[in-house]
Amino acid sequence: MIVVTTPTGQIGREVLARLLDAGHGTPPVRVIVRDPARLLPQTRERVEVVQGSHADPAVLKEACEGADQVFWLVPPTPGADSVEGHFHAFTEALCEAIGTHGVERVVGVSTLGRGIARNAGQLSASLAMDEAIAATGVHYRALCPPALMENLLRQVAAFRDGDEWSVALTQDRVLRTCATRDIGAAAARLLLDDSWTGSGDVPLVGPDDLTPEGMARVVSEVLDRPVRVRQISGADLKATALRFGASEAWAQGLADMVAAQNGQGLYGAAQPSTPDTAPTSFRQWCEEVLKPAVLT
């Protein structure tokens, strides 16, 4: 039995689709979802559904009964009172379920930056999550992408109505990226493989060597319209997050995260690309995902 968390999220739905498409011999799949109505009807027919939050120990206990593998992702919750507390609540429930039910393997979504990231908001909390899960003794693989290409979908309205892309990251410094499809594919491969053991990281770094300015040029070419980068500060990013309903703690975490990315090089050129695990180029993603979203 494979348990999938966040099955309707950007990454979780990619994982689930690949598991269900894997064909004959695939273990049964159980999903944890707050609102089962968000699952496609054809998906609901092929999975077991446990309704609720995977931060709830009772829900996770029910879902992990008889499970061998778990796909794990802590969902972003901008209203959380504490970044560390938010990650801890989810992780504590998982560690308890691992000990109770004897889950053999966990594949989790983490981030690049181990051994580098300091005071990095949500990134530091994610790395602490990895350490707690690995400490249980479960076989664990932490998927470690840099910036998600899908983050750019937040700028779709700006691309439709104007020519600016707002970014709090240094414009002329390489920013490594990864597409969620590649994270989903890597997770599914590991969940369907019962031969790996121990604990380790799986870097997922796309093939590009682009700065935000270079990314803007690619977007311009794909959309056939001029797009430029507008630099904003970490304080501006925090203010925007607060304006859209984030808690003070979550907004400060975002500001700390971009400060660490700018100052510590977490997602910079020093991180080598991993084309075997993250083959999608930024241009390909723009053509296949961003452009249709802008033109819709």
* pLDDT tens per residue across span 71-85: 999 999 999 999 999
The mean pLDDT value for 162-172 works out to: 85
**Residue 100: predicted pLDDT:** 83
The 10s digit of each residue's pLDDT in 195-223 is 999 999 999 999 999 999 999 999 999 99
Phi, psi (deg, nearest 5) at residue 50? -115, 120
Rounded CA-CA distance 179/165 in Å is: 19
**Average pLDDT over every residue of 31-37:** 94
| Average pLDDT over the chain, rounded to an integer | 93
Give the rounded percent of residues in the chain with a pLDDT score beyond 70.
100
Model confidence at 56, pLDDT cuts 50, 70, 90, reads very high
Top CATH class of 2-147+178-203 equals alpha beta
Q: Mean pLDDT throughout 38-63?
A: 92
Per-residue pLDDT at 212: 93
Residue 14: is its pLDDT beyond 90? Answer: yes
pLDDT tens digits for 102-146? 899 999 999 998 888 788 999 999 999 999 999 999 999 999 999
- Per-residue pLDDT at 265: 83
What pLDDT was estimated at residue 42?
A: 87
Residue pair 16/4 in contact (Cβ under 8 Å)? The answer is yes
Mean of pLDDT values over 145-168: 89
pLDDT bin (cut points 50, 70, 90) of residue 290 is very high
Report DSSP letters for the chain, one per residue. Answer: -EEESSTTSTTHHHHHHHHHTS-TTPPPEEEEES-GGGS-HHHHTTSEEEES-TTSHHHHHHHHTT-SEEEE-PPP-TT-S-HHHHHHHHHHHHHHHHHHH---EEEEE--S-TTT--S-THHHHHHHHHHHHHHTT-EEEEEE--EEGGGGGGGHHHHHH-SEEEE-S-TTS---EE-HHHHHHHHHHHHT-----SEEEEE---S----HHHHHHHHHHHHTS--EEEE--HHHHHHHHHHTT--HHHHHHHHHHHHHHHHH-TTSTTS---TTT----HHHHIIIIIHHHHH-
pLDDT of residue 160: 85
